[in-house]
Amino acid sequence: MNRKIIIGSSIVLILDQLSKIIVDLTLNLNESINVIKNLFNITYIHNYGAAWGILKDKTFLLTIMSIIALIIIYRYSNTFIINRRNKLAFSFLLGGITGNLLDRLFLGYVRDFLDFNIFGYDFPVFNIGDSCIFIGVILLMISIYKKDDYEVKSRRK
């Protein structure tokens, strides 16, 4: 795997874990601080499921899914041309997934705190790792759509 992807994913992981530690030390569970009225709060919750609360209390399944996702990303990252977009995509994906995986492994839940209400829709509370996963998926979809950013390498030599 490319050295810059490893460095990038390490930075994402550190930012994710550091932000969660700061929120954990600063707020009580379910406490909320209004940052921008009617738009953004920092609300500390424990998420025992995945996005939008799906697979609640399925920590073991989500842990296995995260490990499989990391293996697949590692395995197929070498089929993509190493350009800035793909380095960012893989860095964001690996760092974000690893951050949430560490929470699940050591705490049994994921620490979430970014709470947005946009145009009356109260988004599920999420974290930096979740944001990076989302951005990484979008960047990877762009690369796949463009088709010139990845190459299928033959298994035969």
Active site members: 112, 130
Phi and psi dihedrals of 58, rounded to 5? -110, 50
One DSSP character per residue, 70-110 reads: HHHHHHHGGGB---HHHHHHHHHHHHHHHHHHHHHHHHSSE
Distances (CA, A) of 23 to 16, 87, 107, 134: 11, 29, 15, 21
- Residue 5 per-residue DSSP state: H
Q: Both ends of the chain: CA-CA distance in Å?
A: 20
